[in-house]
C-alpha cells in the first residue's frame, strides 16, 4: 500500500517539474500526476510550453516580442 502512495507522489512531483519548465499551472500538474500517474507524466512531457498573451490569452512562445494572433507588443524581460 505504501509503495503505491510513494509512486503517486513521485508522479505528482514529475508532473510538477515538467509544468514548471513549460510555464503551466504547477499545482494542477501535481494533482493530475497524483490522480492519473504515468498518463499525466506522458501528457505533461508532450504538452507545449510558452506563455499566455495578456490580451487575447492565446499560448505563444515565451521568447516572442509580438503576439502573432492579436499583434500586441509584449514587454521584454
Low-confidence stretches of the chain (pLDDT < 50) are 77
Same domain, yes or no: 42 and 55: no
Same domain, yes or no: 29 and 58: no
Same domain, yes or no: 37 and 13: yes
Say what the pLDDT of residue 52 is: 83
Say what the pLDDT of residue 70 is: 92
Domain limits for position 28: 2-46
With beta carbons less than 8 A apart as the criterion, state whether 3 and 10 touch. Answer: no
Label residue 37 left, alpha or beta by phi (over 0 means left) and psi (-120 to 50 means alpha): left
Amino acid at each position: 500500500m505504501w509503495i503505491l502512495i510513494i509512486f503517486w507522489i513521485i508522479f505528482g512531483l514529475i508532473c510538477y517539474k515538467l509544468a514548471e519548465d513549460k510555464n503551466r499551472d504547477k499545482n494542477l500538474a501535481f494533482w493530475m500526476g497524483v490522480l492519473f500517474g504515468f498518463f499525466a507524466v506522458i501528457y505533461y512531457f508532450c504538452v507545449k510550453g510558452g506563455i499566455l498573451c495578456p490580451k487575447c490569452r492565446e499560448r505563444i512562445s515565451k521568447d516572442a516580442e509580438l503576439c502573432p494572433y492579436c499583434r500586441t507588443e509584449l514587454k521584454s524581460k
